[in-house]
Chain A
Amino acid sequence: MLKIFKYMQRNEWLFVCISVLFIVVQVWLDLKLPDYMAEITTLIQTEGTTTADLLAPGSYMVLCAIGSMMAAMVVGYFAAKVAAGLSRRLRAMVYEKTMMFSMEEINSFSTSSLITRSTNDITQIQLIIAMGLQAIIKAPILATWAIVKISGKSWQWSVATGVSVFVLIILLSIVILFALPKFQVVQKLTDNLNRVSREGLTGLRVIRAYNAEQYQHTKFEKANEQLTATNLFVNRVMAIMMPGMTFIMSGLSVSIYWLGAYIINEANAMNRIQLFSDMVVFSSYAVQVVMAFMMLSMMFIMLPRAAVSAKRILEVLNTKSKITDGSKVEGLPGMVGDVEFRNVDFAYPDTEEPILQNISFTAKKGETVAFIGSTGSGKTTVVNLIPRFYDATSGEILVDGVNVKEYTQEALRNKIGYVSQKAVLFSGTVASNVAYGKNQEEVAQTFLKKAIEIAQAKDFVEEREGQYDSEISQGGTNVSGGQKQRLSIARAIYHHPEIYIFDDSFSALDYKTDRVLRTALKELTVDATTLIVAQRIGTIKDADQIIVLDKGQIVGKGKHKELLKNCPTYIEIAQSQLSKEELEND
């Protein structure tokens, strides 16, 4: 938790120091108030006091109250600035860091965890700092000062105050001990209930088809029952908090007056008035002491949560991206679209099993190279190595004759048009999605339309309201899966790269669209290299080179017909998709 403070800037530390100063002023003024009160009490008990005599301490009291408020406002201002400033900086740092991460780091954190770290965790820090600056610093100052002020007045009263604080601590301990751990249980059970509800909704058709409504309901009720039972317990325990605190406060006042009666009665007449006003004042101080302890204990409840958030943020900031930039921006002269793998091995860090072993192949300008193999054969990994989403464990990957590690990432990726397995769209417009990454002011309208047309997306785009400028919602939820895929293909086309990478990008399309699209692409890619990862034999039959992968190794390389003769794995795949006669027809 403390380490997070090293991200505060010097002027913010200055703000913190100023805050502390003003907190001291505030506490001083707050505690001054009862002093004037004592003065007034004494004046009242003294014979011959005029109204005018009372007004002086009275106006001082008002001044104190105003002063205290002003001081608190100043503290609040600086606290807000520091908290928001630090969270802005942390958020930006986490975001920039995450943007730099390679897939390896992203996967090791998981995307959803990174999102929480960049959003909720940071909000959490902002909260704790804003409150902390005001309460954490103030509480101990207030408590000590108030204790100093009241100590020496009368030990009985101090004992009464001590007992109250003690009771308060017991009360809070009960809550912390019994209710707090249950909060986590409640969270778990809520998640469980959500899961069952979600299952019930996603499986609606299956549940109805199997007449399993009662079955599902029983399951839901069980989750409901558990959640309610735990919630009941927590809420019943928590219900003691407010009445308990009221009781402690009121009880303390009563004790002070009750004890006071005996103390005053035993004192000699001289000291009585003094003691009486002490008593009135003491009750004010005592309340402050109890309040301070209350604030502190609240902090103890909040701190662990914030500490967890801080730790999670620091984890991100302290992770180094494994992929670093090279310096080259151009390949060897005269080489365009050339991709070569030389004995490439790849394994995820901390794993024994290699994902890829000894992969070598060359793809030249104008060629289409296809990768096929069963799930887990490593075909996606092969193409992910080219734009350096990962770096090869050993061996070399050359693009235009230069090792990919020697390029700046930007230059390397400018050569590549990558279409992922799962189409990704961003909130914006059709045009901003297709022209993604380019300077949006320079969108070439004619080429944009051409790209969309080639990707077979023209019809549905032009049917949309606003056409090329029609809105795409976050995650592309307002277009269908096939449309998303076509738009992401249009994105690759628009950037007219040297190298196209299609990672299983055609499976969301039906056969017909698939074929028309590939025909149109063919014309476009005559002077580019195309790498296709595919499931369907039909998609890749006409590739210049088909690379068959099995368990991370190349088990076949060649054209469709050759492979049908000499590659058992390929034959197996082919047979599962095409009938015998169709295979023979070829």
Chain B
Amino acid sequence: MTKSQPSRPIPPKMGKPPVGGGPPGMGPMIGEKPKQFKATIRELIAYAKQYIPLVMIALVLALVGAILNVVGPDIISDMTNTISSGLATSINLDEIKRLGILLAFMYGFGLLFNYAQGFIMATVTQRITKKMRTDISDKMPRIPLKYFDKTSIGNVLSRVTNDIDTIGQTLNNSLGSLVSGLATFVGALVMMFYTNWIMAISAILSTIIGFAFMSIIMKGSQKYFIAQQMELGMINGHIEETYAGHTIVKAYNGEENAKKVFHDINERLYTNAWKSQFMSGLMMPVMTFVGNFGYVVVCVVGAILVNNDVIQIGTIVAFMMYIRLFTQPLAQLAQAATSMQSTAAASERVFEFLKEEELEDESEKTQKLATAKGDVEFKNVRFGYDEEHTIIKNFSASVKAGQKVAIVGPTGAGKTTLVNLLMRFYEVNGGEISIDGIPIHSLTRENVHDLFCMVLQDTWIFEGTIRENIVFSKENVTDEQVEQACRAVGLHHFIKTLPNGYDTVLNDNANLSTGQKQLITIARAMIENAPLLILDEATSSVDTRTEILIQKAMDELANGRTSFVIAHRLSTIKNADLIIVMKDGDIIETGNHEELLANGGFYAELYNSQFEDAS
């Protein structure tokens, strides 16, 4: 089957993706892995070139902030020693004051620098993500429709939203904490060895033991965590489909079966959920233990050393802080690393989109067709959605200005293909299509589009007022023109009855029927007022009165224009000047109604089938 239908709107994804089981930031995050980490990061740096100076400043600030925090304990240690040495006599209060003020300044500046760093990073991240969104939106019109017909809307959408959101969240955390974490870690290490190497080694050893313990748990929990995500996905899928198909489940007494499946998954989910919850819940106590254990080791070793007059008591106080400064960034670094991975994975997809092949540049095309009489000529047109499978083999036809062309065929026959070619949504593989004798590929796409008004089967209405929906991108449209178009399609009276008239906002809960929406798109086409018309008649169910209205409006619109109609209605087909019959992607018959009936071919069969009684 050829994929030639216009992309139909995909129903909004129901619900949000499930939140992971572990408390945020505690459970082992399953970061998505990018295909090429380094290349993507390099690309990201190049992309964010203009912000590099700012990022540098932020990194310096993070570094300084970290150093200030690391040096702090050393001064507290001095303070303790000053107190301790004065225990027997009297404490040098001036020295204490000096150290206190120094510390106040250091921590004050630490706060300032770290906040400035966070502020800058938040700003840069948001600016980068904004730029990405802008670039994606900017890129969209330059990508051939072929891409969008192949890719699901959800896929593209998730790049604009989820992926960029991920980048926004992770980039913010990762860069800053990577630097400050590293600085704190190294700083604490240096300061520890500088202060006392025996203490330093015992502190490090105790931490390593703690973390070895932790990594075992991490490894063990990963399994359950992944299993939990999987079961969650499965149960959500099952819930979604049985809820959405509720009537069918009921009508066929499928409840028992559905419940059985549900309980099976729910049971498995429970097992994995409590295990992964428990495992990720272990992280906190173990972390605390690592902290406490280090603390105890430092206390005991320190006390022994103090007792043997190797160090002073202040050193223990300092180490009690160092051990915290030393262990804390380890977790922070692990987080930042996962964050970086997610950033890279998300950026990879965004860049992939930004690098998609673009439509051919047309700036050198100078030929312009401001308006057209409306003669359309197909000359030996050859086309296939992919190069190997030619579906339209050799199509020639000539349409005179003002004539009506009906395109008919069973569902899936590829009726929209001709529209795609006329509008240059796709390019022909051979032959040419010309309007008023000028081949359309020698015109810019923009120019071609200007020559057509188009009404598609999927009534595309966006959130905005009725007026905005009708005027759309057209500039300098007066209110009178809008009203006139609505009168012509028979909508004016209805719109007037709405509380806000033409300024009524159309959104999800707007009570507009399908038919009325269709009329709005017809009015939109009227405002566009182009010499040629493409019409995809709706098969969708509208009530008969509206259907008559739509029919009349379409006739009105087709009046005096060369029109191409994807036809479902007999009246359209019968009075068409040319009927193009399509099957399996190809054009199999052309001619007018009488000729085709006389031929007794596929068309005749198709046409007659609608009157035959089922017998």
Interface mask (B90-112 → A, CB under 8 Å = 1, otherwise 0): 11010010001001100110110
B186-194, B483-491, B494-502, B602-610: which lies at the interface: B602-610
- Which chain B residue lies CB-closest to A203? B460
Determine how close the nearest CB of chain B comes to the CB of A364; give it in whole angstroms. 19
Determine how close the nearest CB of chain A comes to the CB of B173; give it in whole angstroms. 10
**CB-CB contacts below 8 Å: A361-399 with B:** 374-377, 387, 389
**CB-CB contacts below 8 Å: B325-353 with A:** none
- Which chain B residue lies CB-closest to A78? B278
- Which chain A residue lies CB-closest to B412? A480
Q: A87-B273, A475-B241 are in contact. Are A410 and B253 (CB under 8 A)?
A: yes
Determine how close the nearest CB of chain B comes to the CB of A490; give it in whole angstroms. 12
Q: A198-B12, A265-B91, A579-B570 are in contact. Are A62 and B259 (CB under 8 A)?
A: no
A34 to B221 Cα, complex, angstroms: 32
Interface mask (A70-99 → B, CB under 8 Å = 1, otherwise 0): 001100110111011101100110011011
A66 touching B606 by the CB < 8 A rule? no
Interface mask (B137-179 → A, CB under 8 Å = 1, otherwise 0): 1101100010010000100110011000100100010000000
- Which chain A residue lies CB-closest to B240? A115
Determine how close the nearest CB of chain A comes to the CB of B566; give it in whole angstroms. 13
Q: A76-B281, A205-B454, A235-B126 are in contact. Are A474 and B240 (CB under 8 A)?
A: yes
Q: A54-B307, A194-B161 are in contact. Are A202 and B87 (CB under 8 A)?
A: no
B76-84, B370-378, B430-438: which lies at the interface: B76-84
Q: A84-B277, A92-B266, A210-B472 are in contact. Are A414 and B126 (CB under 8 A)?
A: no
| B513, CB-defined interface residue at 8 Å | yes
| A153, CB-defined interface residue at 8 Å | no
B39-47, B396-404, B542-550, B584-592: which lies at the interface: B542-550
A507 touching B473 by the CB < 8 A rule? no
A214-222, A335-343, A349-357: which lies at the interface: A214-222
| A28, CB-defined interface residue at 8 Å | no
A144-152, A157-165, A246-254, A447-455: which lies at the interface: A246-254
- Which chain A residue lies CB-closest to B96? A261
A98 touching B115 by the CB < 8 A rule? no
B79 touching A261 by the CB < 8 A rule? yes
B317 touching A280 by the CB < 8 A rule? yes
B274 touching A202 by the CB < 8 A rule? no
B449 touching A224 by the CB < 8 A rule? no
A573 to B153 Cα, complex, angstroms: 37
A197 to B104 Cα, complex, angstroms: 50
B93 touching A261 by the CB < 8 A rule? yes
Residues of A within 8 A of B86 (CB): 264-265
A512 to B126 Cα, complex, angstroms: 56
**CB-CB contacts below 8 Å: B208-247 with A:** 232, 235-237, 239-247
Determine how close the nearest CB of chain B comes to the CB of A520; give it in whole angstroms. 9
Residues of A within 8 A of B247 (CB): 103, 389, 418, 420, 424
**CB-CB contacts below 8 Å: B465-489 with A:** 472-474
Residues of A within 8 A of B411 (CB): 480-482, 508-510, 513
Residues of B within 8 A of A279 (CB): 83
- Which chain A residue lies CB-closest to B294? A65
- Chain A interface, number of residues (Cβ within 8 angstroms): 174
**CB-CB contacts below 8 Å: A424-472 with B:** 424-427, 436-438, 440
**CB-CB contacts below 8 Å: A200-247 with B:** 200-217, 220-221, 224-225, 228, 231-232, 235-236, 238-240, 242-244, 246-247
**CB-CB contacts below 8 Å: A252-277 with B:** 253-254, 257-258, 260-262, 264-265, 269, 272-273, 276
A62 touching B282 by the CB < 8 A rule? no
B49-57, B283-291, B361-369: which lies at the interface: B283-291
Most chain B beta carbons < 10 A, residue from A214, A414, A436: A436
B410 touching A512 by the CB < 8 A rule? yes
| A108, CB-defined interface residue at 8 Å | no
Determine how close the nearest CB of chain B comes to the CB of A470; give it in whole angstroms. 15
A582 to B571 Cα, complex, angstroms: 11
Most chain A beta carbons < 10 A, residue from B242, B277, B304, B450: B277
A202 to B157 Cα, complex, angstroms: 10
Residues of A within 8 A of B108 (CB): 247
Q: A424-B245, A424-B247, A535-B541 are in contact. Are A258 and B100 (CB under 8 A)?
A: yes
B79 touching A427 by the CB < 8 A rule? no
Determine how close the nearest CB of chain B comes to the CB of A7; give it in whole angstroms. 15
A474 touching B237 by the CB < 8 A rule? yes
Determine how close the nearest CB of chain B comes to the CB of A155; give it in whole angstroms. 19
**CB-CB contacts below 8 Å: A476-493 with B:** 480-482, 488, 491
Determine how close the nearest CB of chain B comes to the CB of A560; give it in whole angstroms. 9
Q: A204-B7, A541-B613 are in contact. Are A235 and B543 (CB under 8 A)?
A: no
B547 touching A576 by the CB < 8 A rule? yes
Residues of A within 8 A of B441 (CB): none
A228 touching B157 by the CB < 8 A rule? no
A197 to B133 Cα, complex, angstroms: 10
Determine how close the nearest CB of chain B comes to the CB of A48; give it in whole angstroms. 10
A116 to B141 Cα, complex, angstroms: 34
A578 to B15 Cα, complex, angstroms: 44
| B385, CB-defined interface residue at 8 Å | no
A212 to B542 Cα, complex, angstroms: 28
29 contacts between A and B (CB under 8 A): A61-B299, A66-B289, A72-B285, A73-B285, A83-B273, A85-B274, A112-B14, A115-B14, A119-B232, A134-B281, A202-B458, A209-B454, A214-B473, A225-B130, A246-B111, A387-B250, A410-B253, A425-B245, A436-B248, A480-B411, A507-B539, A507-B540, A509-B411, A510-B411, A512-B410, A512-B606, A515-B614, A518-B614, A538-B611
Would you list the 7 A-B pairs with minimal beta carbon distance, nearest first?
A239-B118, A374-B543, A437-B252, A72-B285, A212-B473, A58-B300, A243-B114
